[in-house]
Amino acid sequence: MKGHESLKEIVLQVLADVLITHPQLLTATIDDPDATAEDAEPIVNPRLKPVTKILLKAFVSDSHRLSLIACEAASKLLLLSILPPAPTAEILKVFVSTYFDPETAANPALRQALSYFLPVFCHSKLKNAHIMAQMAVPIVSKLLLMREEDIEEEDTDEMVSWPVITAHLAEWTDGRKVVGTTELGLDGKTSTTAEAEEPHVQLAIAALERALTSTCTKDERKPLLSLLGKLHIASSSTSRKPEESVEDGEVLNVLHELVAEAVESKIGTDATQRNALEKLKITLTKRLGEVELVTQVQDGDSDGTVTPDHTTAVGTDATEVPAIKAQQGIDAPIDSSQLGDQDEDAEGEVDDTTMLAGMQGEGTRMPLEFEDEDGEDDDEEDASELPSTQESALTIRRKVQTHMVTEDDIMESLLQSEL
């Protein structure tokens, strides 16, 4: 801390090389040497805090050379996932704030290093995009304070506009750009995994929770709502497994409740923000309708029941229209109320579909002539003992059978005619 400038630079370089070569020195937890065998719980690594402090102190120093070396050293540690998530988030917050700070214009090498590191870090692993999504709302709050300080100081340069800042945050947290989440199919179309939209869903929940609090000012709420319009949340699930769709539905329900509360509270100050909230609400309504369908199918499979093939989406007033599916085959019971006018002319012609359903094989039963009347009388006596619904079905079956003769009967009749 008190050494010469060149000595500080060497120490930072050596420290980074040692930690990269021996990453076990910065493991999140270590064994407590003073703990007993009964209470052998790990403790937080005591080296994490001083290493993070050294890197951040050198990064914000007045020396441009020292700031650049500290940026390169911390970037290597973060890209190699040597630091745990908590120190990583702390360093990442300082990096993003410095990247948008207009004072860094005097150090173009540092700004160039940050402009390369931030997208590479966020798009190299999905967990890195999650860390950026967690820090996006605190970063907006810190940038708001920095903007207010710049307004008070007339000599400083003005910070970039909020649309530029929110566009960068949405770009860095876009899971579709992470390596391995997008693949090109044989048909030439790209498809993304179900986990690709998790960072944007997480960021939307954090932004709405902050915007709905009473301590959130109008100036802070404006970039947060502007950020919602740049997030990508699909209206249909890309998950191939029903279990993953149901798990995603729990998180989407939380987001849907927050969006509905934001719309009812009318926190949008202009038409653009209100439209963004309405669009997100409609998207989530469609998405939750698919999740509800998957849940009904799973419940029907587990209970052994058949679920209806029609569902009503969340937020719609669609009426359910029951569909009566005709069962093929004579043996199925037929409701007399569905037969209609067929009961009046029961002795008349029988439907062709019913006769074809009674055929047992190719050429085995042919409608040619009536059988003897004795068998018909016996069938009527048996049918009289059955309920009305089954009786009507049995009557039709008996009438069809009276028109059936076997193949042997046909051959015998042909032989007699020739003789």
pTM: 0.66
Q: Which of 62-65's residues contact partners 24+ apart within 8 Å by CB, and which partners? A: 63/5, 64/106, 64/107, 64/109, 64/110, 65/5, 65/9
pLDDT, position 184: 79
pLDDT in tens, 341-358: 444 444 444 444 444 444
Backbone angles phi, psi at 360, to 5 degrees: -100, -15
HSE value, Cβ hemisphere, 13 Å, CA-based, for 347 = 1
**Residue 193, token pair as written in the block:** 């995994």
pLDDT, position 51: 95
Rounded CA separation 376/392 (Å): 15
pLDDT, position 127: 95
pLDDT, position 186: 81
Select from 131, 134, 138 the least CA-distant residue to 79. 131
Number of domains in the chain: 1
Rounded CA separation 301/85 (Å): 41
Classify residue 323 as left (phi > 0), alpha (psi -120 to 50) or beta.
beta
165 in a structural domain: no
78 in a structural domain: no
pLDDT, position 412: 79
Rounded CA separation 193/196 (Å): 6
Backbone angles phi, psi at 248, to 5 degrees: -65, -30
- pLDDT (tens place) for every residue of the chain, 419 residues total: 778 889 999 999 999 999 999 999 998 887 766 665 555 677 888 899 999 999 999 999 999 999 999 999 999 999 999 999 999 999 999 999 999 999 888 899 999 999 999 999 999 999 999 999 999 999 999 999 998 887 777 656 688 999 999 999 999 999 999 998 888 778 878 788 888 989 999 999 999 999 999 899 989 999 999 999 899 888 776 654 544 544 567 888 999 999 999 998 888 878 888 888 998 899 898 888 765 554 554 455 544 444 444 333 333 443 333 443 434 443 444 444 444 444 444 444 444 444 444 444 444 455 544 444 444 445 444 544 544 444 555 555 555 455 566 777 777 788 777 66
Based on the number of CB atoms within 10 Å of its own CB, is 59 exposed (0-12), middle (13-18) or buried (19 or more)? buried
DSSP readout, 235-246? Answer: SS---SSHHHHH
Cβ neighbors of 178 (< 8 A, separation 6 or more) are: 122, 123, 124, 125, 126, 129, 196
Select from 162, 156, 169, 164 the least CA-distant residue to 106. 156
pLDDT, position 371: 45
HSE value, Cβ hemisphere, 13 Å, CA-based, for 80 = 17
381 in a structural domain: yes
SS3 at position 215: coil
Residue 234: in which H helix or E strand, if any? none
Rounded CA separation 97/85 (Å): 18
Q: 136: how many CB neighbours lie within 10 A of its CB?
A: 24
403 in a structural domain: yes
Buried b (16+ CB within 10 A) or exposed e, 287-325: bbbbbbbbbeeeeeeeeeeeeeeebeebeeeeeeeeeee
95 in a structural domain: no
50 in a structural domain: no
384 in a structural domain: yes
pLDDT, position 187: 81
pLDDT in tens, 205-244: 999 999 999 899 989 999 999 999 899 888 776 654 544 5
Rounded CA separation 94/116 (Å): 16
pLDDT, position 154: 64
Rounded CA separation 37/22 (Å): 28
Is there a contact between 169 and 136 (Cβ–Cβ < 8 Å)?
A: yes
pLDDT, position 31: 72
133 in a structural domain: no
pLDDT, position 133: 96
Q: 109: how many CB neighbours lie within 10 A of its CB?
A: 14
pLDDT, position 316: 40
Q: Report the amino acid identity of residue 132.
A: M
Rounded CA separation 122/178 (Å): 7
Is there a contact between 15 and 51 (Cβ–Cβ < 8 Å)?
A: yes
